[in-house]
């Protein structure tokens, strides 16, 4: 199977597949006489696993670890469980964070009565920390705004 076909089947880009090979989570493919990659269904399965993990927001390092742990079928799945639970915790935290943000944004947008910029409550809310109701000011995570 060519790299293009694999990309189509797995719903990702050709460059992404080469990137996964480069960072070592997808094993190098056999090459044709003209140096083109030839993939097996096994590669396809692994790539689908990787893509699915990425959709859940696992990092490449977490995926690498899971693939390593998954390689030994007799090993306890404790560690896999831990990684997944860690990710779940992150997701929950981020939801809370965003819900706070949503409330605050709604508050400042509601304040704006649609006049001129000089009296705009959105701008003044953003300018003035005194008006800020935000609970964890300045300690955001790097994916959603400022990370300190």
Q: Which residues bind a second copy (CB under 8 A)?
A: 11-12, 45, 48-49, 51-57, 66, 69-70, 72-78, 80-81, 84-85, 87-88, 91-92, 94-95, 98-99, 101-102, 104-106, 108-109, 112, 114-120, 122-123, 126-127, 129, 132, 134, 137-138, 140, 143-146, 148
Intra-chain end-to-end CA distance of the chain, in Å: 46
Dihedral of CA 31/34/35/39: which sign? negative
**Number of residues in contact with DNA, rule: CB under 7 A?**
25
Contacts of 32 (CB under 8 A, 6+ apart): 38
- Residue whose CB is less far from a second copy, 5 or 129: 129
* 37: β partners: 31
Contacts of 97 (CB under 8 A, 6+ apart): 136, 140, 141, 144
- Contact between 130 and DNA (CB under 7 A)? no
Among 59, 93, 99, 102, the residue binding DNA under the rule CB under 7 A is 59
- Residue whose CB is less far from a second copy, 31 or 129: 129
């Amino acid at each position: 199977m060519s790299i293009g076909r694999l990309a189509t089947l797995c719903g990702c880009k050709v460059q992404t597949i080469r990137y996964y090979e480069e960072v070592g989570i997808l094993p190098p493919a056999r090459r044709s006489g003209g140096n083109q990659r030839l993939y097996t269904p096994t590669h396809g399965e692994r790539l689908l696993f990787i893509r699915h993990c990425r959709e859940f927001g696992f990092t490449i390092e977490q995926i690498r670890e899971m693939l390593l742990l998954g390689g030994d079928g007799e090993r306890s799945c404790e560690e896999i469980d831990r990684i997944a639970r860690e990710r779940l915790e992150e997701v929950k935290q981020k939801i809370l964070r965003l819900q706070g943000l949503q409330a605050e944004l709604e508050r400042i947008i509601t304040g704006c009565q649609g006049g001129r910029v000089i009296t705009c409550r959105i701008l003044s809310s953003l300018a003035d920390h005194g008006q800020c109701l935000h609970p964890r000011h300045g300690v955001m995570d790097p994916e959603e705004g400022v990370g300190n």
